[in-house]
Structure 1
Amino acid sequence: MFISEKKVEVRYAETDAMGVVYHANYLVWFEIGRTALIKELGFNYADMEAQGVISPVIDLNVSYKKSLRYGQSPTIKTKIKSLSPLKVIYEYEILNEEDEICCIGSSTHVLVSKDTFRPIKFKKSFPDWYDAYEKAMG
Structure 2
Amino acid sequence: MKNTSRILSIIGLAALMISSLPAAAHHAFSAEFDGDKPIEVKGIVTKLELINPHSWLYLDVKGADGKITNWGFEFGAPFSLKEKGITKATLAPGTVVNISGFRAKSGKDFGYAVTTTLADGRSIKTGGAQDAPTTAPANAR
Using the size of structure 1 for normalisation, the TM-score is 0.29
Q: Which has the larger radius of gyration?
A: 2
Using the size of structure 2 for normalisation, the TM-score is 0.29
